[in-house]
Structure 1
Amino acid sequence: MISFLDLIKELIIFFIIILIPWMVFRRQILNRTKKKYVVIIFIFYVVLSLFTQNLFPFVLVLLILQKEKKRGNKEENKLIKPLGDKKFEIILFSFALKFITMLITALFAIFLVKIGIEPKQQTIVDMIQTSSWIKLVFLMFVINLFAPYVEEFIFRHIIYHNFSRKYGKTIAVLISSTLFMLLHFNLVSSIATFSLGVVNCIFYEKYGYKAAVLNHFITNFTSSIVLVAIKLLNNVGIALLF
């Protein structure tokens, strides 16, 4: 049976990941659609999203991006601003940041053990280790493609962007990065997740949404490759026993 805390987590994830992209999509793209059709589309969207992780929020984000591109003004619109010659610089920084946060996470995990707190893995780590190889392929898309696009749209373009206009950039960075950290619900990786949120706010502000997505992709991709390698080595190790 699902615990009360798990239920709260699922409701928060549902609201942030599923409903926020829908609300933007509804306002920007379905604004002239009849209400009864909007309700039908929404029901299908929610039901399908419950069984496909963040696939359909990802689809909505892509449709929103396409709508923004048609409006033009790429240099002024952070959502569609091109990376230009900053791409290589961002990639190098992303790998360096990942290395640093991995070290910090490892040290923090050791500290937690020493004070009597047993670090727990993120749910996605358990899913990778226990999934079939067919399901794992889908999870790789969820982690490395869908998540960066959807989460950066929500936490940087919606939350950070709107809070920075009302309360200033510093407050907006703290709010969006804290919410981003809480969404992942993992103590041992909290420093790394919060740091990623802060850096992506800076990237969004300086270079636009695509820079934040790229940094997020590299962070997730390096982690997922390591986890898949561990899964593969475990399977090989088991096979060698027989």
Structure 2
Amino acid sequence: MIRLDTIKDIIVFLLAYIPPLLVFAKFWREKHKNIIVLIIITLIYLGGSIFTQNLLPFILIIFDIKFIKSAGTSYLDNKIDNTYNKTKFGRDINSVLKFDYNRFKFNGRNFSIFSALKLSAISYTVSLLISIVETILLSRLNVKLEGQEVVSWMSSMQLWRFIIIIPVMIIFAPVVEEFVFRWLFFEKIFKNRMGIYLSALISSLIFGFAHFNLRSFPILVWIGIFNCYLIDKKGYWYSVFNHFTFNFITTMALLIDKI
């Protein structure tokens, strides 16, 4: 019988780790690169991601962003009679993403650390208020909910292992999760089909669900919705920074407690 933890790992793998690979593979094929090399990369990625967590998805997303950067140029180079190029799968990915590199400011231009800090402060303050209200309600209802498993896991970890895992939590995870849940799910899959508000809500609910924790679910949904606003109005790296801030504060609190 499959354990519940195994089911959770499979769902997280499918939601967070497979999408960057699919984007990479589609670009790779449309650029007519060697299919054997793609198969090898895929096998290494699928096997390695099980043991490296967010590291390989993070690396693959860096390549995906480079592909997105080239999409506009590739589209113009291949444009014929002012119509979209067609493949047997429909519009090619270059035509779909030709404006995304600048639209979502993947290049990091005009990113203001002061503006990002201000927005993250607002987001974290609301998170604290949500946590306070949730704590009061749970106390009155006499309901006890466990914290996130990853927090408990890191709390019980030896210091040297904890230090090694810090980049995974505060750098790799924000880059991966914002790329998947905000850029791909919210912007590219849901938004044009459902509108901005419903797509923000649904993608954020999926984001919260993927963490499998009722105690932190309202805060995660809030972070998801706020980051949908950030990527849509400010750019990808603003949503990454807000995610980074939240993870950084939590991780540093655990580190201080260990020390």
**One-letter amino acid of the counterpart of residue 9, structure 1:** K
The match for 2:198 among 161, 171, 182 is 171
Q: Which amino acid is 1:206 matched to? A: K
Residue equivalent to 2:79: none
The corresponding residue for 2:184 is 158
Q: Which letter does structure 2 place at the counterpart of 1:186?
A: N
CA displacement, residues 82-137 of structure 1 (integer Å, 9 cap, x when unaligned): 35264312211212321331232143134224323222121211121111222212
State the alpha-carbon separation in 1 of the partners of residues 161 and 40 from structure 2. 29
Change (3 A) 1:170 1:103: closer
Give the drift of 1:79. 5.0
Q: Cα offset for 1:47? A: 0.9
User: What's 1:33 paired with?
Assistant: 33
Q: Does 1:140 align with 2:139?
A: no
The secondary structure found in structure 2 opposite 1:80 is: coil
User: Is 1:225 the counterpart of 2:224 in the alignment?
Assistant: no
TM-score (norm 1): 0.87
Q: Determine the structure 2 residue equivalent to 1:235.
A: none
Q: Percent identity?
A: 30
Instruction: Give the letter aligned to residue 180 of structure 2.
Output: I
Q: 1:15 to 1:105 in 2, by over 3 A?
A: same
Partner residue, 2:66: 66
Instruction: Please name the residue that 1:125 is paired with.
Output: 151
Which structure 2 residues correspond to residues 1-242 of structure 1 after superposition, within 5 A?
3=3, 5-31=4-30, 32-70=32-70, 76-78=102-104, 80=106, 82=108, 84=110, 86-162=112-188, 163-232=190-259
Partner amino acid for 1:69?
A: K
Q: Quick one: distance in 2 between partners of 1:179 and 1:113?
A: 27
Structure 2 regions of 5+ residues with no counterpart? 73-98
Secondary structure of the structure 1 residue equivalent to 2:104: coil
Structure 1 pair 216/83, CA: closer, same or farther in 2 (3 Å)?
Answer: farther
Change (3 A) 1:28 1:77: farther
Q: Distance in 2 between matches of 1:82 and 1:51?
A: 30
Residues 115, 225 of structure 1: CA spacing in aligned structure 2 closer, same or farther, 3 A cutoff? same
SS in 1 for 2:210: helix
Partner of 1:236: none
Distance 1:194 1:141 in 2: 23
Asked whether the 8 Å contact 2:28–2:38 carries over to 1, the reply is: no
User: For structure 1, which segment, 36-45 or 215-224, has the greater mean C-alpha deviation from structure 2 after superposition?
Assistant: 36-45
- Cα deviations across residues 62-98 of structure 1 (Å, max 9, x unaligned)? 1112233345768743151535264312211212321
SS of 1:43 mapped into structure 2: helix
Listed as ranges, the gaps of 5+ residues in structure 1 are: 233-242
Report the structure, 1 or 2, having the larger helix content: 1
8 Å contact from structure 2 (residues 166, 251) kept in 1 = yes
**What is the CA-CA distance between 1:28 and the residue it aligns to?**
1.5
How many Å separate the matches in 2 of 1:70 and 1:137?
Answer: 36
- Secondary structure of the structure 2 residue equivalent to 1:93: helix
Q: In the TM superposition, what is the alpha-carbon distance from 1:20 to its structure 2 partner? A: 0.6
Residue correspondences, number? 231
